Structure 1
Amino acid sequence: MELELRHLKLVHAIAEAGSLTRAATSLGVAQSAVSGQLGRIERALGGALFSRGREGARPTALGELVLGRARVVLPAVRELQDEAVRFANALSDVARFRLGGTHGPLMGALLDRLAAVHPDEPVTTHTSWSVQELCDMTASGRLDFALVGVCGESPPPSEQLQWRTVGTDPVFVMLADGHPYAGEDEVRLERLRDARWVSVPGEGCFADCFSAACARAGFTPSAMLETDPASCVHLVQVGRAAGLCRATMPPTPGLVTVPIAGTPLSWRHLLGWHPDAPAAGTAPAVLMHARAAHAEATRRNPRYARWLATHPQYGTISP
């Protein structure tokens, strides 16, 4: 295996975080993926890069050597990339829609709308679990727009970008359609105290907010399993877990989404762009399409549409 930039980024992330678990969170990937990749890097370089113990991960002598070079190479490559992007953006007079987003149906719906309205103009996407990566790419000009989500009333993830709210959704619980509470109009969180929980990966405070909501309900939740959306759905369908999802999740065979009493958790969809970027001129139109896509997603879930009738503070932001 030849050493690549992504390997240096991984080693640098572990050193900065001080542990593989925290590095995995910052990178938006599973801890097992970080551990496996580090093992392959260490085998390629011929020795351990970190010593691991209760205090976390500390660079070995070989690790310090690699980190010293990485701290020179990574900023230089980033500077080259940013300069090239700025140069290309300055030369381009073609309307482009380079969208970055986390995994979810809202991204696909926005992409569909833009492609339909602008059939002769390039529309591309970049998906990542890491909101910070998407913000960095938008700020540096490698993306035109970032479609991300934040927990509750959390501030936007980057001060460099201009942000507008697309919509705010409650967090519902996903249950197998045969679950005892599947037919309820809403379920109290404490009634699920014995559930195993599953959700998609993410940054920010969502996991802490969920734990705090459970604490207010009088219990400590079992460990949250983070995995991809398809695996989350499967685990719920077969009754292995209860899931957490945004209320815009479309109807899915084998499971139902149920409101949580008191709405202890919510999710805000944001569209961000750099105010000085060439794409800023198209931002109002992209925001309009993002809100239309969110409103359409709301209508596709009848339970959410009914719930909104008595909770008008949620849903799509009006123009």
Structure 2
Amino acid sequence: MRGAERVAPDLWCQVTRTGLNTVMDLQFRHLRQLCVVSETGSLNKAAAALGLPQPALSRQIRRLEQLFGGPLFERDQHGARPTPLGTTVLEHAQTIIRSLDDHGERVRDHRSPCRRVLRVGGTACGVFYEPLLGALRKLPSGERVQVVSPHTTRELIDLLREGEIDIALRDHQSADGAPPPGDGSIAHLQWAESPVLLAVAADRPPATADRLTMADLAGAEWISCTGPDACDEGLRRLCARYGFAPRITHDIVVSGPRCQVIRHQGCVALTQAYRPLQPGVVRRRVADLDMRVRHLVAYRRESWIAARVPHLAALLAAAHRDLSRRAEA
């Protein structure tokens, strides 16, 4: 209440002259009660708003009037209106309340940034964000989580290398060789892998074929995407191993309308086994396509989170096993 002494010294002297042992006999809640009575214009309404019995609020107001040395409200059949003394008390009370409320907001604003932020980036399959966030909640830490979702893997790793994010979830296709070893400052830890399947319209022949091979898809129209990650080049290299060049007729990023184009245009596309599909699109296993996606956590070796990455990878692996069991069921 020292702030109140600066705001209203004359009024506070009047309070202390009543013979009370300490000005703390006047508490912050008492000031709020006075303000609510003034705002509602009624002891009954104020009591309801404060969650107090009306007789208890009336007794509290009488004690405050004794404290300040005079009536604070005029009461009649129309309600309660501040007296001149009450108006003076209310002006100071409102100033004190605003000051303390502002102080509380500043304290909260100061405390919030003090919590460490764990910045997580990812271009990996969106179905894994739910396990990721669940795994982060199980880590023994109190960090706030901030998710960053760049468009390409190259951009993702640049953000990690520059310290803009702390960990990165990325995917690496087995057709592209071994997982990246890192570059000295960046390390990778594999936590799971998933098979690569074919996404095809449910009413197209590949969806119902007894056995499907890559040769059966030589005449199909394919979906891929150009860009820094060179997905279209990877698809061409893959198909070249089976003796044909794919007819890439649509350039659509993974987060784009691939399922709609597959359903209406009859195209095909490679997809991860657990990536969500829309109605009218199904997954098929291609008998001679031995291709898998490795799911990796990338992190800076000197980062404060580096020691926790193995625990995080173990939690993600357990979530992936659960997802696999549910998909098979």
**TM-score normalised by L of structure 2:** 0.57
**Is 2:180 the partner of 1:156?**
yes
1:132–1:157 CA contact under 8 A, matched in 2:
no
- The one-letter code of the counterpart of 1:168 is E
From 258, 266, 278, the equivalent of 1:240 is 266
**1:74-132 Cα shifts (integer Å, max 9, x gaps):** xxxxxxxxxxxxxxxxxx98554311011522442234314543695311111112212
Counterpart position of 2:85: none
Between structure 1 and structure 2, the one with the greater Rg is: 2
Match of 1:134 among 134, 156, 166: 156
Question: How much does 1:241 deviate?
Answer: 1.1
**Aligned residues of 1:199 and 1:245 also touching (Cα < 8 A):** no
| Pair 258,245 (structure 1): closer, same or farther in 2 beyond 3 Å | same
Q: Pick the aligned partner of 1:97 from 112, 118, 124.
A: 118
Structure 1: where are the runs of 5+ without partners? 1-91, 306-319
Residue of structure 1 in register with 2:300 after alignment: 274
Matching residue's letter, 2:180 = P
1:169 matched to 2:194? The reply is yes
| Alpha-carbon displacement from aligned partner over 1:280-319 (angstroms, at most 9, x marks no partner) | 12212221232233323323433xx8xxxxxxxxxxxxxx
How far off is 1:158 after superposition? Answer: 4.0
Is the Cα–Cα contact under 8 Å of residues 103 and 129 in structure 1 kept in the other structure? no
Q: Letter of the aligned partner of 1:237 in structure 2?
A: R
SS in 2 for 1:238: helix
Matches within 5 A, 1:198-209: 198-199=223-224, 203-204=228-229, 206-209=231-234
Give the secondary structure class of the aligned counterpart of 2:302.
Answer: coil
Q: Which amino acid in structure 1 is aligned with residue 153 of structure 2?
A: V
Matched AA of 2:121: G
Q: Which amino acid is the alignment partner of residue 136 of structure 1?
A: D
**Which amino acid is 2:190 matched to?**
T
CA contact (8 A) 2:199 2:283 kept: yes
- 1:268 deviates by 1.5
Structure 2 gap ranges (5+): 1-112
- Say yes or no: does 1:181 pair with 2:206: yes
Identical-pair percentage: 25
Structure 2 CA distance for partners of 1:180 and 1:158, relative to 1, 3 Å: same
1:261 alignment counterpart: 287
| Greater displacement, 137-146 / 182-191 | 182-191
Looking at structure 2, the residues matched to 289 and 273 of structure 1 have their Cα atoms a distance apart, in angstroms, of 16
Shift of 1:183: 3.0
**C-alpha separation in 2, matches of 1:227 and 1:125:** 23
CA distance in 1, matches of 2:199, 2:234: 18
The SS at the match of 2:180 is: coil
Q: Which residue of 1 aligns with 2:48?
A: none
Whether the aligned pair in 2 keeps the contact of 1:250 and 1:300 (CA below 8 Å) is: no
Q: Secondary structure at the match of 1:257?
A: strand
Aligned positions of 1:1-319 closer than 5 A: 94=115, 96-102=117-123, 104-114=125-135, 116-117=137-138, 121-152=143-174, 153-156=177-180, 158-159=182-183, 160-184=185-209, 186-199=211-224, 203-204=228-229, 206-223=231-248, 225-228=250-253, 229-250=255-276, 252-302=278-328
- How far does the alpha carbon of each residue in 1:254-285 deviate from its partner, in whole angstroms, 9 at most, with x for none? 11111122224332211111111111122122
Count of aligned positions: 212
Distance 1:103 1:273, change over 3 A: closer
In 1: Cα distance, 2:142 partner to 2:318 partner? 21
Question: Cα 1:115–1:265, aligned 2, differ >3 Å: closer, same or farther?
Answer: closer
Q: Which moved more, 1:111-120 or 1:241-250?
A: 111-120
Determine the C-alpha separation between the residues in 1 that align with 2:292 and 2:204: 23
The alignment's C-alpha RMSD in Å is: 2.8
Tell me the distance in 1 between the aligned counterparts of 2:196 and 2:241.
16
1:142–1:284 Cα change, 3 Å: same
Partner Cα distance (2:243, 2:262) in 1? 24
Question: Deviation of residue 174 (structure 1)?
Answer: 0.3
